[in-house]
């Protein structure tokens, strides 16, 4: 009925169902970097209850009425939404430039139990196990228990697995032992792909099993220069009968698999290996990979089950879209983390699988602190597209690297034709990439990364900003004109305060990195970068003691989302507490109520920094309430009843930052890691950040009601650590647990990294930069 109404909204209105469906007209404006007005209709969506009391497991007796809120399974190479007819693959796109989007592969892995099993009276249980990376359906019948497991294998990364385990029950009737149990199933791959021209499937016999193969090519390349040829795709899958037969005296596991890759040999080789595996061993290998990931790090919350579940759900969805650390066959290059993850991206609303600034500003920071190897992979996506970024800079009359607002397969600009102004003006994405590189270097001091592209990308980004800055002889400052900050309600402005600060940081970082790299990379005039940064314009109102969002901003104008407040965090630009408070309080008052959740995450962190704890808690709750959809903790871009993009990783990343950097108090600088006023999130009785990675060490921050401790699991011998609590220095060694008394800050430092002066990181000065800064 709901599907019918969704397609026939006028009929629903005529039937007088407005109260039940709560139909309302809304306007979607901008796509985290797009500016379009699309008139759509949404309805209130009934959400089912999560009945599990395990923080890692989400269970329900009925699936969401809206398929968009079904959970996803993935392993970084392939992903799908459970029971959908679509599989997406890392780096597989179809469409020219702005029409480029993830290419749909039919879900030959979509095997379902027939409704005769899952309908009343058997009351199936649908569960997502976030710790083991598996979706499960359990049907407890009179004569058997049927369990279906669906997962994207974390070791055999080209494979989606469907396993149906039938366990007969003991029956009192002796005659029944001779009966058979029949289980009706169906394969539902959906229609032919419009994105990939597959040849007709052909059958084969492999390992005494009837299997199918279909190979094809994407229909249209993303760019005629950087992608002259379409991409090959090849899939193998097992034949699926319409029913399964099990003797009543024996349990049995039926395994159905699908493999897919750009290389037919790879898809076939893994498929053959899977067919040789025992069903339970196959599942165990998958589980082992997930367990190892969770052993590396995580956030644990006690006293607030809902909050704990939300956190585990976020990490599950993130890790499902990131490549496996260990794989049976070598992995393809990684094509980034898009706003809705790997399981989505075939539509405009799902951001088409493109990469935005969302990755570096919203998702990257928390991933970096627990999984720095994944952080490097995210930066590698940008490095892989550096040449295209250099060509874009030339095309727009600039130097260095200018990265596009949206990118996908080739690295060219792939924004929709609707929104050319966003691609033209929202250039801060380039500065955000440099800021992510700064954070990465601060946490890892990864010299290998510098040698293999890091020096080049940092210095070329600086060249871009140096070519964009124009001296204003009236005031002696450099202006950056024709830009758009994160607030997409204001376009084509001069001296966006956020843009200028990330540009300044980019210029300063290049000066610092040129020193780190000087033995193997020659930079041109690094001090000139610092001179420009020092004198970049910095909008600031002395009378009102706040930062206008850009030059000429009219006080009282509404904004879409957090912009100037990002100076305080994540940029950590130095300012007086009064200025920070004024920025926070003013911009909260003019931010649209329909803005994305990340805005309130940054405001919550800001209020914690100025020690306004009640306000911080209020805003913290605002970061997730209304955005998280039950029962599988799928995030929507907009607060209910609106939806927008689904499984919105961008908002998830902002929320994690509120916990890690807000309540956890972590702060990263190029020469230290700080813990500032670590405290419990609202309603929690314990909060643990397990597996903090800093300069090769492994640390755990444990915040309780009575005390807070820092435990050291390991330390890199190259980077010995000393923590200062304001009075004493403590050498951090493996096995040590330190009680953190008071608010701190507790500062952790190591030996200096080469003889290189740290960046000045100060802009807005209209006099010559002093020698030595």
The single residue of 42, 360, 488, 637 carrying the catalytic annotation is: 488
Residues ≥6 apart with Cβ < 8 Å to 562? 486, 587, 591, 595, 598, 599, 602, 603
Helices 428-444 and 372-384 cross at an angle (nearest 10°) of 140
3-state secondary structure of 174: helix
Cα–Cα distance measured from residue 430 to residue 451, given in angstroms and rounded to the nearest whole number: 20
List the 298-302 sheet strands across, edge first: 298-302, 686-694, 697-704, 708-714, 737-739
Contact assessment for residue 438 and residue 670, using Cβ atoms and an 8 Å cutoff: yes
Nearest alpha-carbon partner for 570 in 600, 541, 605, 597 = 605
Residues recorded for the chain:
773
Contact assessment for residue 308 and residue 301, using Cβ atoms and an 8 Å cutoff: yes
C-alpha angle with apex 269: 263 to 273, nearest 5 degrees?
A: 150
HSE value, Cβ hemisphere, 13 Å, CA-based, for 549: 29
Cα–Cα distance measured from residue 652 to residue 311, given in angstroms and rounded to the nearest whole number: 9
Active-site residue flag, 488: yes
Helix residue ranges per DSSP H, 277-371: 279-296, 305-321, 357-358, 364-370
φ, ψ for residue 762, nearest 5 deg? -130, 130
Cα–Cα distance measured from residue 530 to residue 523, given in angstroms and rounded to the nearest whole number: 13
Nearest alpha-carbon partner for 380 in 427, 449, 321, 323 = 449
Nearest alpha-carbon partner for 498 in 577, 566, 580 = 566
Locate 73 and state its tokens. Answer: 């399974």
Cα–Cα distance measured from residue 524 to residue 268, given in angstroms and rounded to the nearest whole number: 50
Cα–Cα distance measured from residue 49 to residue 66, given in angstroms and rounded to the nearest whole number: 14
Burial per residue of 587-598, b for 16 or more beta-carbon CB atoms within 10 angstroms, e otherwise: bbeebeeebbbb
Category of 156 on φ-ψ map: left (φ > 0), alpha (ψ -120 to 50) or beta: beta
Nearest alpha-carbon partner for 321 in 372, 283, 369, 374 = 374
φ, ψ for residue 636, nearest 5 deg? -105, 155
C-alpha angle with apex 128: 293 to 349, nearest 5 degrees?
A: 90
H or E segment at 11?
A: helix 9-14
Cα–Cα distance measured from residue 349 to residue 342, given in angstroms and rounded to the nearest whole number: 14
Residues ≥6 apart with Cβ < 8 Å to 363? 318, 337, 378, 649, 650, 652, 653
| Per-residue DSSP letter, 266 | H
Locate 215 and state its tokens. Answer: 């190979």
In sequence order, what are the beta bridge partners of 161?
151, 257
Nearest alpha-carbon partner for 444 in 371, 500, 501 = 371
Alpha-carbon separation of residue 178 from 37, 115, 141, 175, 484 (angstroms): 65, 26, 18, 6, 74
Cα Rg of the chain (Å, integer): 27
Cα–Cα distance measured from residue 382 to residue 432, given in angstroms and rounded to the nearest whole number: 11
In sequence order, what are the beta bridge partners of 467?
none
For residue 250, count other CB atoms closer than 10 A to its CB.
Answer: 10
| Per-residue DSSP letter, 551 | B
- Provide the annotated active-site residues: 488
């Amino acid at each position: 009925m709901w599907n019918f109404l969704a397609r026939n909204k006028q009929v629903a209105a005529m039937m007088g169902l407005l109260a039940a469906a709560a139909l309302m007209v809304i306007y979607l404006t901008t796509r985290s970097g797009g500016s379009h007005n699309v008139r759509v209709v949404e309805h209130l969506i009934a959400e089912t209850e999560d009945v599990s009391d395990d923080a890692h497991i989400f269970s329900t007796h009925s699936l969401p009425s809206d398929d968009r809120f079904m959970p996803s399974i993935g392993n970084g190479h392939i992903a799908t939404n459970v029971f959908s007819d679509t599989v997406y693959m890392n780096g597989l796109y179809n469409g020219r430039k702005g029409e480029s989007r993830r290419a749909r592969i039919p879900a030959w892995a979509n095997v379902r139990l027939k409704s005769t099993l899952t309908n009343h009276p058997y009351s199936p249980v649908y569960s997502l196990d976030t710790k083991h990376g598996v979706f499960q359906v359990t049907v407890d019948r009179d004569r058997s228990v049927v369990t279906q497991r669906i997962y994207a294998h974390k070791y055999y990364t080209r494979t989606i697995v469907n396993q149906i385990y039938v366990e007969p029950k003991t029956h009192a009737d002796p005659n029944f032992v001779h009966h058979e149990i029949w289980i009706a199933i169906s394969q539902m791959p959906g229609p032919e792909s419009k994105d990939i021209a597959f040849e007709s499937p052909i059958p084969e016999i492999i390992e005494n099993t009837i299997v199918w193969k279909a190979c094809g090519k994407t229909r249209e390349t993303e760019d005629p220069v950087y992608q002259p040829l379409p991409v090959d795709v090849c899939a193998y899958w097992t034949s699926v009968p319409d029913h399964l037969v099990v003797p009543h005296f024996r349990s049995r596991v039926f395994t159905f698999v699908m493999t897919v890759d750009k290389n037919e040999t790879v898809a076939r080789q893994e498929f053959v290996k899977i067919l040789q595996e025992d069903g339970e061993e196959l599942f165990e290998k998958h589980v082992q990979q997930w367990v190892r990931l969770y052993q590396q790090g995580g956030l644990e919350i006690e006293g607030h089950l809902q909050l704990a579940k939300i956190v585990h759900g976020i990490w599950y969805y993130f890790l499902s879209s990131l490549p496996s650390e260990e794989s049976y066959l070598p992995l393809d290059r990684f094509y980034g983390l898009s706003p809705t993850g790997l399981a989505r991206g075939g539509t405009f609303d799902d951001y088409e699988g493109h990469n935005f600034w969302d990755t570096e500003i919203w998702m990257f920071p928390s991933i970096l602190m627990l999984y720095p190897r994944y952080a490097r992979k995210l930066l590698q996506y940008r490095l892989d597209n550096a040449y295209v970024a250099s060509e874009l800079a030339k095309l727009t009359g600039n130097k260095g690297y200018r990265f596009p607002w949206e990118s996908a397969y080739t690295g060219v600009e792939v924004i929709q034709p609707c929104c050319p102004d966003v691609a033209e003006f929202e250039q801060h994405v380039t500065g955000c990439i440099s800021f992510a590189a700064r954070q990465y270097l601060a946490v890892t001091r990864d010299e290998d990364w510098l040698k293999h592209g890091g020096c080049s990308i940092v210095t070329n980004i600086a060249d871009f900003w140096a070519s964009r800055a124009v001296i204003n002889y009236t005031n002696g400052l450099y202006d950056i004109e024709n830009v758009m900050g994160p607030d997409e309600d204001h376009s084509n402005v001069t001296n966006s305060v956020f843009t200028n600060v990330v540009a300044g940081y980019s210029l300063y970082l290049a000066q610092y990195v040129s020193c780190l790299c000087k033995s193997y990379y020659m930079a041109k005039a690094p001090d000139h970068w610092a001179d420009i940064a020092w004198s970049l314009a910095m909008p600031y109102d002395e009378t009102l003691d706040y930062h206008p969002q850009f030059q000429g901003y009219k006080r009282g104008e509404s904004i879409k989302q957090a912009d100037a407040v990002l100076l305080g965090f994540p940029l950590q630009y130095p300012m007086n507490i009064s200025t920070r408070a004024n920025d926070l309080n003013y911009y909260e008052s003019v931010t649209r109520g329909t803005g994305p959740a990340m805005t309130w995450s940054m405001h919550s962190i800001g209020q914690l920094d100025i020690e306004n704890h009640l306000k911080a808690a209020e805003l913290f709750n605002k970061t997730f309430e209304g955005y998280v959809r039950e029962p599988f903790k799928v995030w929507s871009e907009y607060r209910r009843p609106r939806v927008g993009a689904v499984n919105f990783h961008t908002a998830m990343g902002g929320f994690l930052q509120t916990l890690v950097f807000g309540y956890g108090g972590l702060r990263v600088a190029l020469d230290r890691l700080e813990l500032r006023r670590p405290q419990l999130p609202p309603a929690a009785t314990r909060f643990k950040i397990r597996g903090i990675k800093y300069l090769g060490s492994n640390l755990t921050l444990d915040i309780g009601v009575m005390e807070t401790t820092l435990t050291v699991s390991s330390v890199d011998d190259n980077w010995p650590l000393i923590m200062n609590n304001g009075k004493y220095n403590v050498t951090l060694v493996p096995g040590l647990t330190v009680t953190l008394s008071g608010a701190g800050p507790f500062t952790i430092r190591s030996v200096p990294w080469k003889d290189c002066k740290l960046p000045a990181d100060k802009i807005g000065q209209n006099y010559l930069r002093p020698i030595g800064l």
